Amino acid sequence: MTSRVLLTGGAGFIGSQIADQLIEAGYDVAIVDNLSTGRRQNLNPKARFYNVDLCSSQVEEVFDRERPHLVSHHAAQISVQASMDNPQNDAATNVLGSLHVLELCRRYGVRKVIYGSTGGALYGEPQYLPCDEGHPVRPVSAYGISKYAVELYLPVYKDTFDLDYTILRYGNVYGPRQDPHGEAGVVAIFSQRMLGGDPCFIYGTGEQQRDFVYVEDVAAANLIAMETASGKAINIGTGMGASVNQVFDGLAEAIGYQGAPVHRDSRPGEVHSIHLDNSLARHELGWQPTVTLPQGLEKTAAYFRQAASGGQISQVAG
């Protein structure tokens, strides 16, 4: 029997590419997304789509109709800066919305939840690098706190209600379909601005490092996690840090941009440098990244160039 997957946030940057890979692998996919940041044009036409907010009572109607075996939970408030400006709203979406989903999973007999979490915002300023899953959790933003709170609920639901789970802690995911939104979207932001001949802004020195992992690799990890890594929290990253300056230089070369970056003050709630140990992902999932940063920047620049030439950049990139 074909497994039915309910994917929250499936019109978004990461969620839509998870949907594509699930459908290609033969899963039956339904998507819940309120399109607040997701895009209708990202939706796979083979998925059933419900334009419903995560916190709405209508979500139960979707569960009742779809009766999913698996839930991939990727709907979230994703901006670190927005979480610091309004932590209450961040928690309402990321914590209460997630609990709503977990309660419905329990009520409708879902077998397993795949939870899209964060590695970059979870561990705080690292005590050592790369951060493995045993690194102390000390988030420095409301976003990191809200994402981790849901991680704490998942073992309780597994032990009490037999709801299995796998947590995937992402590095800084980038690639096609990304909105230029917050630092996590720096590749998309730079791509859009460079193609428009506009100045690019770097907050701080630009020497701060992130673990930039290509979105298709992240989607591949989700596909594997559907049927393995029970009860595990797993980093999904490259295992290497790259500076914002490196990203700027790589995109400038790919696009042919001649401008210099404009530096601004660093922003509160953001870790200076982090990258993730992916040893557990290799062991539990048999997963490792396949796209290098130069390759990924080339692919992303080509996507935004095509979008710009087709007059779609404002729709695709936010």
CB–CB of 224/290 below 8 Å? no
What CA–CA distance (Å, rounded) separates 15 from 42? 9
Antiparallel, parallel or unpaired: β 242-243 and 209-210 = antiparallel
User: Which residue is catalytic, options 27, 50, 143, 170?
Assistant: 143
The reply to whether 143 belongs to the active site is yes
E strand residue ranges, the chain: 4-8, 28-32, 48-50, 70-73, 112-118, 164-170, 172-174, 201-203, 209-210, 212-214, 232-236, 242-243, 262-264
What CA–CA distance (Å, rounded) separates 311 from 294? 26
List CB contacts of 14: < 8 A, sequence separation 6 or more: 74, 116, 170, 173, 215, 218, 219
Q: Which residues are catalytic?
A: 143
